[in-house]
């Protein structure tokens, strides 16, 4: 019912960014027409609203229909957090069942980002989604999440930023 992928194998511990792709698979035995996705992030890691434009309720859960295939979430750090492997937990809640999955992410210093594996399938999905019109409108109830502060840098790793960054 649930599969998780990250766009990058590593994320910088300070001002780092990554994308989480939550793929949903319909279970024929489950009859729910609606579900909620809860994302629990490690301390110091934040997320923006889902890039698909799905409604997010007051519990900061993403509300999806049974037929929605996926959800893309941008995750990021602002201040320096401890380096090492950490876990993101995603839970899918329906009226009949709850399914949880974990995905590990390696948080590293900026100078350790030289050998990053990029999942091209995730990147292509993000590009496809960013080219589509956003379903948000002025009347949408939007949950207030941690604001994102961006700063462009010109350093030896900017080739990753040029390849991976998506400006809205």
Q: Is residue 135 part of a domain?
A: no
* Residues 6 or more apart in contact with residue 28 via CB below 8 angstroms: none
Closest CA relative to residue 146, chosen from 57, 52, 75, 56: 75
We report the CATH number of the domain holding residue 106 as 2.60.40.740
**Does the pLDDT at position 26 exceed 80?**
no
Q: Is residue 67 part of a domain?
A: yes
Q: Mean pLDDT in the chain?
A: 82
Q: Is residue 156 part of a domain?
A: no
Q: Is residue 134 part of a domain?
A: no
Q: Is residue 79 part of a domain?
A: yes
Q: Are 62 and 87 in contact (CB under 8 A)?
A: no
C-alpha span between 66 and 159 (Å, rounded): 38
**Does the pLDDT at position 68 exceed 80?**
no
Measured CA distances, 30 to 39, 54, 71, 128 (Å): 21, 21, 19, 29
- What's the pTM? 0.75
Overall domain count for the chain = 1
Q: Is residue 138 part of a domain?
A: no
Higher pLDDT, 17 or 29: 17
C-alpha span between 11 and 16 (Å, rounded): 6
| pLDDT tens digits for range 80-133 | 999 999 999 999 988 888 899 999 999 999 999 888 999 999 999 998 887 764
Across 50-59, average pLDDT: 91
């Amino acid at each position: 019912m649930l599969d998780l992928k990250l766009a990058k194998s590593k994320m910088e511990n300070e001002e780092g960014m990554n994308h989480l792709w939550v793929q949903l698979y319909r279970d024929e035995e489950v009859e729910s027409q609606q579900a909620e996705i809860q994302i629990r992030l490690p301390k110091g890691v934040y997320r923006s609203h889902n890039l698909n434009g799905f409604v997010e309720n007051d519990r900061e859960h993403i509300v999806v229909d049974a037929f929605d295939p996926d959800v893309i979430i941008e995750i990021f750090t602002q201040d320096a957090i401890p380096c090492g492997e950490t876990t993101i937990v995603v839970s899918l809640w329906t009226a009949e069942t709850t399914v949880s999955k974990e995905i590990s992410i390696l948080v590293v210093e900026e100078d350790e980002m030289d050998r990053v594996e990029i999942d091209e399938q995730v990147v292509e999905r993000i590009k496809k989604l960013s080219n589509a019109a956003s379903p948000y409108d002025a009347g949408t109830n939007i949950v207030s999440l941690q604001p994102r502060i961006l700063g462009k840098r010109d350093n030896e790793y900017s080739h990753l930023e040029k390849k991976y960054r998506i400006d809205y």
